[in-house]
Structure 1
Amino acid sequence: MSKRVARRIDNRSIPLRAGKSHVLAASSVYRIGLLSPIAGLGISRKHCTCSPYLKSLQINFLRRPYRFEVVVRIPTPPSYTSSKTAFEMSTEKPLPFIYQFAAGAVAGVSEILVMYPLDVVKTRVQIQSKVPVPGQDHYTGMLDCFRKIIANEGASRLYRGIGAPILMEAPKRATKFAANDEWGKVWRNVFGVSKMSQSLSILTGASAGATESFVVVPFELVKIRLQDKAQASRYNGMVDCFLKIVRQEGPLTLYQGLESTMWRHILWNSGYFGCIFQVRAMLPANPTKDKSLQMRNDLISGTIGGTVGTILNTPMDVVKSRIQNSPKIAGSVRKYNWAWPALGTVMKEEGFGALYSGFLPKVLRLGPGGGILLVVFTGVMDFFRSIRKE
């Protein structure tokens, strides 16, 4: 990052800190700007050339030589810009919570409608055992799973259980944004800083993801049970599934898999938000706010962030699926119970590769899906801004 200075004609330099206001007094000339090919700001007795960095200029004409008081605010670099939401990382002023919540919900539902079949395939591959079970379909991969579901059960099965994640979006987004805002304040106070850095954004995202898990788990459990072909005949839809779980296994069963879900969200949020900060900083700047360039940058950064997050959290996602798909049976101990012991069991019995079962459909969903989330969220937020300006 270029060093920002105010340079006087006698070559004495005064450092300017990003995000801070500075008062500079001079009797002749200051050059204010970047020590780079980018032009700065020149001020003398004869002329004043403004720049985006100039906040205010006060000139005292009562004494000679004229004395200048220049107040300059250096904007925080884009890669360190903070905001109330994990998605809102532009230089635009953040909109009120209700707008961010609505935009997040629209983005989330859009991603679900487009990518949900991949989630069904991912779950089927994750919960099957390594050894084929007589009388049950065994899938050798993503395409084989798609083919067998459509051929044996019909294309509509690719959307079985979609009601749970759609209903989950509103409380999930509200929790995500509120938790992200509150955890951001907590970590800034803990480390004694006023602005968010990349590392604090990762920490905030991970903390918000863990908080979000408490809302997500019951919906995820119902979705997993409905997606499993072996249990499909037990439940007649989302509401019936929910009621039978509560009656037959107890209400606490709805939070079966909470620990593994928390780890899954912590790992994904850390990888996703850590990457999109770095990737956006490396992509070409968009000073003219060109829509096509902004969409391209969002797709690239969101896809890369989603892919890295998926690589990190897939083992915990496999474990979560198996824990949540294990019905509670009186007098028996579930094979998969806690996250880390279950991780060891899967690796011991089926090998390390089993921890990445369903990785291809998962990364195809959450990679481009992360890009879709950013593009739709940014588009909806721009729409809200245009309405508020009218």
Structure 2
Amino acid sequence: MFKSLFGSLLTQASCQEGAGYLKRADSEKLHEIFLKYATVEKNGEKHITSEDFVRKYLGLFSEDDFNKESVQLIAGIVDMDKDGYISFSEFQAFEGLLCVPDALYKTAFQLFDTNGNGLVAFDEFAEVMRKTALHKKLPFNMESTFVRLYFGKDKKRLVTYPEFSQFLHDFHEEYGVEAFKKCDKEGTGFITAGDFRNIMMSVKSHLLTKDLKSKVITASGFPQGERKISFPYYMAFNSLLNNMELIKRVYLNATNRTGHRTQEVTKEEFLHSAQMMSQITPLEVDILFNLCDILHHTNGRIVYNDLNSITPEQYFKQVTRRVAEIKAVSEEVNMCRKPYRFVNCMELMSPEERGVLIQILESTYRFTLGSVAGAVGASAVYPIDLVKTRMQNQRTGSFIGEVAYRNSWDCFKKVIRHEGVFGLYRGLVPQLIGVAPEKAIKLTVNDLVRDKFMDKKGNLSLYAEIIAGACAGGSQVVFTNPLEIVKIRLQVAGEIAGGTKVKAWSVVKDLGLFGLYKGAKACLLRDVPFSAIYFPAYAHVKAKFADENGYNHPLTLLAAGAIAGIPAASLVTPADVIKTRLQVVARSGQTTYNGVIDATRKIYAEEGARAFWKGAIARVFRSSPQFGVTLVTYEILQRLFYVDFGGSRPTGSELHVATPIEESIKKPHHIGGYQVALPVLTGLETKFGISLPRFSYPKPAQQ
């Protein structure tokens, strides 16, 4: 009776609390999914067996020689009655529990609460721990003072959930101390480097990244070739690994939160920041800089990326941070799948390491994605571009002094009135034909030049960003100039009332090959500085909008692109005005120009300095959102159609190794809270080091 009551209360509490953090799955849909896995009928109700729930629904322990005890323990987290079968109410209750922010601790509590009474006894705790892989490697002293402090001198005290959460947090730290004592048999306060390695690879392996394991722990030369490891060093080392997220915040504080993660920080600067905002000790800082030097040869100066190779995977943090955004998570997975851990698992390779063929394939890949992104961006803002062109072509100091449009809005209204809505899209087809290679080569060249200047840590100086942008702007002119001269002549053709309809092909034939590059110098004067301003500004604004893991949501990418376009588009408007005047066909009585210098002189003499800024507002309203749309499309496409060529990817949008949170979302039957079921269960090991054996013992010998 008590078990049933407790289960009912837990169901209500979990569902009510979870509803505040995660949109609950529709009950009918959840029940429909439940019935697909329910193979047993008990007391007139369908139930899922423990094995079916763990192996078929969750997708864990799929091996033929799976460990049945581990499966029963995991199923026991959901099975409140502990009868080996999971009812729909229990299935739904666990879904609700997964929605709460402390889901990992509550799941761990239910793992140890084997009789389902809402309390954990010492016998229950010991029974589960003795079945873990860790205990089999290095048994824990269940008679220790630490255990008796929590469960009482006679170990009869029952521990509540809040108390057990603290116990579990402290237990693994005590496990490490216990392991050190076992290796330090003589009580000298030192253990050998070999013992240190064994402890870290068994008791503390969940805190170790791949780089730490391969380059530090198993390298037999740490620390600094010492043969003995002191207890203070051992404790500081583990404390450092436990607090790497805090370490990152200390780094950002040391750089005054500039948003730039490439600023080098010395040990003294880092220590000063650490003492201002945390209790990180000087020994931990020494270890941190020593590790960074071993891994990256930092020579006493570290950057943010140096910390990533030391930061252990924290599924717990991912789940609690994202549990309120499951819908957004699902969209991200469909898109990239880039988070849930947005950590770049790929070390950048130099061009020499990748080879010519790989670089050609990468350029083709980027060119293709850039083409699609350019077409999307151009289509989105084309009406604004048409208004901008007509405003820039409007003459006020020539023989024909009539002003057709008072301002951009007036131009917009008159185009619709006299030419219809489709008049706003005059010249769109050639624009789309040409904008694809134009934007593609621009984005591709920018990425490739950035790659050339980027070091293996992903650092790039400001001057290198400017050079990359300038090269991108210069390279696009080969496509831009022919595209724009045709587009401009089509856009202004509608101004002539009763005029014959002008077609793109006729414009191309009239101009000829060399005529298509009329105004190319002015085009260079516009596009080179535009890109030199735009791309660095975009990179830095995007970094400002990134979250603490350096990840950008598509909306922040769009905002960054739009913001960066404002100074870039406005400052190069004079060059754009000159280019427009050179490329358009002058009507009878209008001034003609014979080059950039001649156009500059005549425009200034006839119309004054203000003429150089005609259409500036329309240009900003066109270029800013266009590049915002183009770049967010480009980066999302790189997430969607990721191909690893060993080069760089857009900062803050790198593809990462699929984590359990991503894998769970890929499962169509994992809805609601079950979208985070796998990372929560995996978190038992990655947060607390509690790993259950996957295989039965003894495991069958490999053939």
Report the TM-score, using the length of structure 2 for normalisation.
0.41
Q: Is the 8 A contact 1:132 1:138 kept in 2?
A: no
Q: 2:564 matched to which residue of 1?
A: 305
* Number of residue pairs aligned between Structure 1 and Structure 2: 329
Q: Is the 8 A contact 2:469 2:532 kept in 1?
A: yes
Q: 2:638 matched to which residue of 1?
A: 381
Letter of the 2:464 counterpart = L
RMSD value, Cα: 4.2
Q: 1:270 matched to which residue of 2?
A: 532
From 369, 379, 384, give the equivalent of 1:103.
Answer: 369
Deviates more, 1:337-346 or 1:155-164: 337-346
Distance 1:28 1:215 in 2: 68
Deviation at 1:357, TM superposition (A): 0.8
Distance 2:611 2:191 in 1: 71
Q: Is the 8 A contact 2:370 2:441 kept in 1?
A: no
Distance 1:222 1:316 in 2: 18
CA separation of 1:91 and 1:221: change in aligned 2, threshold 3 A: farther
**What SS is found at the alignment partner of 2:295?**
strand
- 1:112-154 superposed Cα distances (whole Å, 9 cap, x missing partner): 1110000100000000112597697611111100111111222
Superposed counterparts of 1:1-390, under 5 Å: 47=200, 49-50=207-208, 54=212, 56-57=215-216, 58-60=218-220, 64-65=227-228, 71-73=294-296, 77=304, 91=344, 96-131=362-397, 138-177=404-443, 179-180=445-446, 183-184=449-450, 188=453, 196-228=460-492, 229-230=494-495, 233=499, 236-246=502-512, 251-287=513-549, 289=551, 294-326=553-585, 335-385=592-642
**What SS is found at the alignment partner of 2:390?**
helix
Letter of the 1:278 counterpart = H
Q: 1:13 matched to which residue of 2?
A: none
Deviation at 1:97, TM superposition (A): 2.7
Give 4+ residue runs of structure 1 displaced > 4 Å after superposition. 43-49, 61-64, 66-70, 74-78, 90-95, 131-137, 181-186, 386-390
**What SS is found at the alignment partner of 1:130?**
coil
Distance 1:63 1:139 in 2: 80
Report the TM-score, using the length of structure 1 for normalisation.
0.71
Deviation at 1:328, TM superposition (A): 11
Deviates more, 1:170-179 or 1:101-110: 170-179
CA separation of 1:130 and 1:369: change in aligned 2, threshold 3 A: same
Distance 1:132 1:245 in 2: 25
Q: 2:323 matched to which residue of 1?
A: none
CA separation of 1:244 and 1:321: change in aligned 2, threshold 3 A: same
Q: Is the 8 A contact 2:385 2:618 kept in 1?
A: yes
**What SS is found at the alignment partner of 1:287?**
coil
Letter of the 1:50 counterpart = L
Deviation at 1:258, TM superposition (A): 0.3
Letter of the 2:215 counterpart = S
Identical pairs, percent: 27
- 1:288-329 superposed Cα distances (whole Å, 9 cap, x missing partner): 84xxx5223212211111111111111111110000014699
CA separation of 1:296 and 1:137: change in aligned 2, threshold 3 A: same
Letter of the 2:611 counterpart = A
CA separation of 1:64 and 1:302: change in aligned 2, threshold 3 A: closer
Q: Which runs of 5+ in 1 are unaligned?
A: 1-26, 30-42, 79-89
Q: Is the 8 A contact 2:396 2:402 kept in 1?
A: no
Letter of the 1:65 counterpart = K
Distance 2:629 2:375 in 1: 11
Q: Is the 8 A contact 1:28 1:44 kept in 2?
A: no
Deviation at 1:239, TM superposition (A): 0.9
Deviation at 1:157, TM superposition (A): 1.1
Letter of the 1:108 counterpart = G
CA separation of 1:125 and 1:60: change in aligned 2, threshold 3 A: closer
Larger fraction in strand: 1
Name which one, 1 or 2, has greater alpha-carbon Rg. Answer: 2
**What SS is found at the alignment partner of 1:270?**
helix
CA separation of 1:253 and 1:231: change in aligned 2, threshold 3 A: farther
Letter of the 1:255 counterpart = Y
Deviates more, 1:152-161 or 1:113-122: 152-161
Distance 1:370 1:53 in 2: 38
Q: Is the 8 A contact 1:45 1:66 kept in 2?
A: no
Distance 1:154 1:137 in 2: 21
Q: Is the 8 A contact 1:202 1:273 kept in 2?
A: yes
Letter of the 1:285 counterpart = D
CA separation of 1:132 and 1:333: change in aligned 2, threshold 3 A: closer
- 1:47-90 superposed Cα distances (whole Å, 9 cap, x missing partner): 56535873622353999436999642379657xxxxxxxxxxx9
Q: Is the 8 A contact 1:164 1:220 kept in 2?
A: no
Deviates more, 1:294-303 or 1:48-57: 48-57
Distance 1:52 1:335 in 2: 67
Q: Is the 8 A contact 2:565 2:624 kept in 1?
A: yes
Letter of the 1:306 counterpart = G
- 1:314-350 superposed Cα distances (whole Å, 9 cap, x missing partner): 1111110000014699xx9973233244234323322
Q: 1:22 matched to which residue of 2?
A: none
Q: 2:59 matched to which residue of 1?
A: none
Q: Which runs of 5+ in 2 are unaligned?
A: 1-189, 235-289, 306-342, 349-360, 645-654, 659-665, 667-703
Distance 1:257 1:295 in 2: 36
Distance 1:170 1:322 in 2: 25
Distance 1:273 1:184 in 2: 10
